[in-house]
């Protein structure tokens, strides 16, 4: 498992496990706030549509 350009990569089993966990946590760290913001935006758009009617 490599991150970035691949010039640094873990060679031990424990290093690979830690890297894999960090990859998964990193994805969750960015996708969770994105989902919350997207959901809030969708609610605001729906609210504006209802106000127009």
Above 70 in pLDDT, residue 49? Answer: yes
- With tokens 């913001």, the residue in question is 37
- For the chain, what is the radius of gyration of the CA atoms? 19
In the chain, where are the structural domains located?
11-53
> What's the pTM?
0.56
What contacts 2, CB < 8 A, 6 or more positions away?
Answer: 8, 9
- With tokens 């969708």, the residue in question is 42
DSSP type of residue 53: -
Q: pLDDT tens-digit profile of 3-42?
A: 677 777 888 999 999 989 998 999 989 899 999 999 999 9
């Amino acid at each position: 498992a490599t991150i970035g350009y691949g010039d640094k990569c873990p060679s031990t089993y424990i290093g690979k496990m830690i890297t894999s966990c960090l990859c998964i946590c990193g994805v969750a760290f960015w996708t969770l706030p994105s989902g919350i913001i997207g959901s809030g935006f969708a609610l605001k758009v729906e609210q504006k549509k209802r106000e127009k009617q």
